[in-house]
Structure 1
Amino acid sequence: MDQEKIIELTDREAIRDCLYRYCRGIDRADEAALRSSYWPDAQDNHGAYCGSADGFIRFALAVFETGPRNIHQITNILIKFISRAEATVESYFTALQRGPDNDGEIRQTLLCGRYCDLFQKREGQWRIAERTVVYDWCEEQTPPAVAEAERFGPRRPIGAPYPHDPVYALGKRGVHVAV
């Protein structure tokens, strides 16, 4: 395999990794993960929010103060390189979001759509420079009426915001994998 192909494959993996960091950040209220997925001067059109990525991150973190439960999954990642330092990326998402509305009533919404991103490689890192969220499906659902402890039953642990989610304890174990 030639060097150019190896670089392309490495770049594709770095872009996917960035998308996955975004999902962890948005689901776990992990500000560092969210910030690491955008360039500081990035723009985000998220439907309910349109402006700087920094503003979107502050908007999202304020939502987390209400104690929501979110899960985002990304599939069908299509990457097209414009140059060695720019790529357009379309990735399909499914998001289940549950939390209180402005009146304190718990709402649950299933969203499906696509992140249409312009990624840029700067100083060897790929991050989002521009994001437009395209919504293809929105379904309001009836949230479960029982408390989480009852709903999850013996299924423990359950997901939690940063730094309390069990995934963050993994990095503290000192386990290293040879590469």
Structure 2
Amino acid sequence: MDDNALQKVADRVAIEEVLTRYCRGIDRCDPDELARAFAHDAQIDYGNGPKPVGETIEGLMAGLGAMRLTQHNIGNVMCEVEGNEARAETYCVALHILPGGGEEPDTELVVGGRYLDRLVKRDGDWRIANRIYIMDWNRQQAATMQDRGGLFDTLGRRGARAPADPSYAWWAGES
């Protein structure tokens, strides 16, 4: 394998890490982690027109922070790298638990879609420069998630928003 082919593989691995970092930032409601996935001048369009990255992150933190939890899972990634630019189409399935009100149960919203990203490599680091989100399907129903009773009572660690999530201590080498 020549050096050019090896560089493309290394770039693809770095791009997939950026895509994964986005999911972690979203699910932990960590604006700093989320910002690390984007170029400082990125434009993001989730379907209501392109917006600057700072405005988008602020809106995401407000909206997702009001939810009980989210979990974004990325799957198929088709990526083409040309020098310091790349294009990627990434499939995503995201679970959102919206809190119920009073006697109303929580709502489970599952959304399937794709991210169309243009990425740039600046100072050796890949970042998303432009993102377009395409929703392919969704499902909404009363939540059936349980986290108490039976086996669930023996599971002592629960996912949380930043910095309370156990992964923050783990990444810091504290556990």
SS in 2 for 1:29: coil
Contact 1:50 1:56 in 2 (8 A): no
- Would the alpha carbon gap of residues 96 and 67 (structure 1) be closer, same or farther in structure 2, given more than 3 Å must change? closer
Contact 2:29 2:162 in 1 (8 A): yes
Matching residue of 2:160:
160
**What is the count of residue pairs matched by the alignment?**
172
User: Do structure 1's residue 13 and structure 2's residue 13 form an aligned pair?
Assistant: yes
Aligned AA (1:123): D
Matching residue of 1:138:
138
- Residue 123 of structure 1, CA deviation: 1.1
User: Do structure 1's residue 68 and structure 2's residue 68 form an aligned pair?
Assistant: yes
Contact 2:67 2:96 in 1 (8 A): no
- Residue 155 of structure 1, CA deviation: 2.3
- Residue 49 of structure 1, CA deviation: 6.9
Aligned AA (1:76): N
SS in 2 for 1:32: helix
- Would the alpha carbon gap of residues 145 and 126 (structure 1) be closer, same or farther in structure 2, given more than 3 Å must change? closer
Identical aligned residues as a percent: 34
Cα deviations across residues 54-111 of structure 1 (Å, max 9, x unaligned)? Answer: 1111011112442420001001100012x3011110000000011248x786332110
Cα deviations across residues 131-174 of structure 1 (Å, max 9, x unaligned)? Answer: 0111111111211386x445943223110011111111112326
Q: Distance in 2 between matches of 1:159 and 1:26?
A: 13
68-77 or 56-65: bigger deviation: 56-65
**Structure 1 regions of 5+ residues with no counterpart?**
none
Q: Distance in 2 between matches of 1:66 and 1:19?
A: 23
Matching residue of 1:170:
170
Question: RMSD over aligned Cα, in angstroms?
Answer: 2.3
5-14 or 64-73: bigger deviation: 64-73
Q: Distance in 1 between matches of 2:43 and 2:166?
A: 31
- Would the alpha carbon gap of residues 138 and 49 (structure 1) be closer, same or farther in structure 2, given more than 3 Å must change? farther
TM-score by length of 2: 0.88
Matches within 5 A, 1:91-110: 91-100=90-99, 106-110=106-110
Q: Distance in 1 between matches of 2:65 and 2:117?
A: 27
SS in 2 for 1:153: helix
Matching residue of 2:32:
32
Aligned AA (1:57): I
- Would the alpha carbon gap of residues 28 and 172 (structure 1) be closer, same or farther in structure 2, given more than 3 Å must change? same
- Residue 127 of structure 1, CA deviation: 0.6
11-20 or 65-74: bigger deviation: 65-74
